[in-house]
């Protein structure tokens, strides 16, 4: 794991339209579930199209600490988890990432018991895990949080059952799937999340021999099997990286073709961009975004898939900050997802916040400033702001961006952006920490 990212900043000289072709990496949110899911199988898995990001390196580190044999080569990973014999993960690294909660579902599924540090991750709201716990309890586990650990025990094994989720939760849907694939009998998850990465995880589990049906709808049916076997699997392209690049293309009034994408995953964003007057052309596995004119205002409400993704709300807000007219954004998923607004105000944006809603009055232009990323998608939003602003923007908190974006500055540079990474000075570090 690298820690020097804490001390780096991205420096962007804005105002250059993004032009050309750029390729999207594998989906972070699928990868961070699929890698822990390997714990469930007896055998070797070869995972391809992994994003080259900190979260993947962190899970690799944890799997190795737990006894798995792994070989990570930038976008591929070979994992044999048969050496994992311990159900307790008290490594502090768990707290660095929200998705470490998938270790609980995977260990509980394999051993009938799990003890894992309570998860960390981006501070974008309360982010409870009551629905994960509800699902595991319904499957027959005793679950309690104690001394900073979540402990789940099912001494008599897990038994399939019907589980109704009170909120549509990606994490709970996937975690319950992980726990249920080796349970006795049938499990039904009602009101499940339908995100593309939920489907990808289900496909991966099926590739290992699980019987999961209905992923991508709001009812998932799982028939428990005795054991799972190794397999080779290629992860889907990242929907959020795709969306961030589409927004960056529009924000810089560019002409960008984004490759290795699944256009149907992008429908909510494509529709909104077209409503703004941006041109979006879909190919089989590419999307071209052109934006010769100033976009017009729109209203956005974030919703579970196939609604507008909360992970693209922050970059979209930035794009709208220079659109014509006033846009209204309602954040329905996470209650604290407007932290980027204070930063873009420093760049000249005119935005007011009222609880879960913000009103963005479009200004003519943003101007570069030193700003700070407070979480992963806020960081991506500030990169978009830097690309569209006049003058120089310096973004600290790069470690958040590196958690989820594969070589963001290299990709942007290849399509015309003036962006590079620098070490922070002592004074900047002092201010930042």
Measured distance CA(115)–CA(289) in Å, rounded: 46
374 binding ligand UD1? (CB under 6 A): no
Distance between first and last Cα of the chain: 20
**Binding-site member from 11, 40, 154, 333 for ligand UD1 (CB under 6 A):** 333
**Binding-site member from 127, 186, 346, 365 for ligand UD1 (CB under 6 A):** 127
32 binding ligand UD1? (CB under 6 A): yes
Smallest distance from ligand UD1 to CB 136, Å? 11
Looking at the Cβ atoms of 36 and 348, the one nearer to ligand UD1 is 36
Q: Could you tell me which stretch among 155-163, 164-172, 247-255, 272-280 binds ligand UD1 (CB under 6 A)?
A: 164-172
Question: What does the CA dihedral 10, 265, 328, 353 come to, rounded to 10 degrees?
Answer: -50
C-beta of residue 321 within 8 angstroms of C-beta of residue 298: no
137 binding ligand UD1? (CB under 6 A): no
C-beta of residue 210 within 8 angstroms of C-beta of residue 185: no
310 binding ligand UD1? (CB under 6 A): yes
Smallest distance from ligand UD1 to CB 392, Å? 30
288 binding ligand UD1? (CB under 6 A): no
Cβ neighbourhood burial of 130 (10 Å; 0-12, 13-18, 19+)? exposed
| SS3 state of residue 334 | coil
C-beta of residue 75 within 8 angstroms of C-beta of residue 51: yes
Paired with 256 in beta bridges are 20, 289
53 binding ligand UD1? (CB under 6 A): no
Please report, as residue ranges, which positions from 176 to 235 form the binding site for ligand UD1 (by CB under 6 A): 193
Tokens in use for 138? 């319904």
99 binding ligand UD1? (CB under 6 A): yes
Neighbours of 86 (CB within 10 A): 13
**Binding-site member from 84, 143, 170, 178 for ligand UD1 (CB under 6 A):** 170
Measured distance CA(225)–CA(212) in Å, rounded: 10
Q: Which of 45, 117, 122, 358 is catalytic?
A: 122
Smallest distance from ligand UD1 to CB 282, Å? 23
**Can 291 be counted among the known catalytic residues?**
no
Q: Could you give the residue numbers annotated as active site?
A: 122
Q: Which residues bind ligand UD1 (CB under 6 A)?
A: 29, 32, 98-99, 125-132, 167, 169-172, 193, 310-311, 333-334
């Amino acid at each position: 794991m690298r820690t020097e990212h804490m001390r780096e900043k991205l420096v962007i000289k804005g105002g250059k339209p993004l032009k050309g072709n750029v390729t999207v990496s594998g989906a972070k949110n699928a990868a961070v579930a699929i890698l822990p899911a390997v714990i469930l199988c007896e055998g070797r898995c070869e995972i391809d199209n992994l994003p080259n990001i900190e979260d993947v390196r962190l899970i690799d580190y944890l799997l190795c600490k737990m006894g798995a044999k792994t070989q990570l080569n930038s976008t591929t990973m070979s994992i044999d988890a048969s050496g994992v014999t311990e159900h307790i993960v008290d490594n502090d690294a768990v707290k660095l990432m929200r998705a470490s909660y998938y270790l609980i579902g995977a260990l509980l599924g394999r051993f009938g018991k799990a003890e894992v540090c309570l998860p960390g991750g981006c501070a974008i709201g309360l982010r409870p895990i009551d629905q994960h716990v509800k699902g595991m309890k319904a499957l027959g586990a005793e679950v309690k949080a104690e001394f900073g650990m979540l402990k789940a025990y099912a001494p008599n094994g897990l038994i399939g059952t019907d589980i109704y989720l009170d909120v549509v939760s990606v994490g709970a849907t996937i975690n319950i799937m992980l726990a249920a694939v080796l349970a006795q009998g049938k499990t039904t998850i009602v009101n499940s999340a339908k995100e593309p990465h939920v489907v990808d995880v289900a496909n991966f589990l099926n590739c290992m021999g699980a019987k999961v049906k209905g992923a991508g709808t709001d009812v998932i049916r799982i028939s428990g099997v005795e054991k799972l076997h190794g397999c080779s699997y290629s992860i889907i392209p990242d929907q959020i990286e795709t969306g961030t690049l589409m927004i960056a293309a529009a924000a810089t009034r560019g002409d960008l073709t984004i490759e290795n994408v699944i256009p149907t995953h992008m429908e909510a964003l494509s529709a909104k961009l077209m409503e703004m007057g941006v041109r979006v052309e879909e190919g089989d596995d590419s999307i071209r975004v052109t934006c010769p004119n100033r976009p017009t205002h729109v209203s956005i409400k974030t919703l579970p898939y196939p609604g507008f993704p909360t992970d693209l709300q922050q970059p979209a807000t930035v794009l709208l900050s220079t659109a014509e007219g006033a846009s209204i954004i309602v954040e329905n998923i996470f209650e604290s997802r407007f932290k980027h607004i204070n930063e873009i105000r420093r760049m000249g944006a005119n935005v007011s916040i009222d609880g879960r809603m913000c009103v963005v009055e479009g200004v003519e232009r943003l101007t570069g400033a030193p700003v700070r990323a407070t979480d992963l998608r806020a960081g991506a939003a500030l990169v978009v702001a830097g690309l569209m602003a006049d003058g120089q923007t310096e973004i600290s908190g790069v470690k958040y961006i590196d958690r989820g974006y594969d070589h963001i500055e290299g990709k942007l540079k290849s399509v015309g952006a003036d962006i590079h990474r620098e070490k922070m000075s002592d004074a900047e570090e002092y201010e930042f920490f």
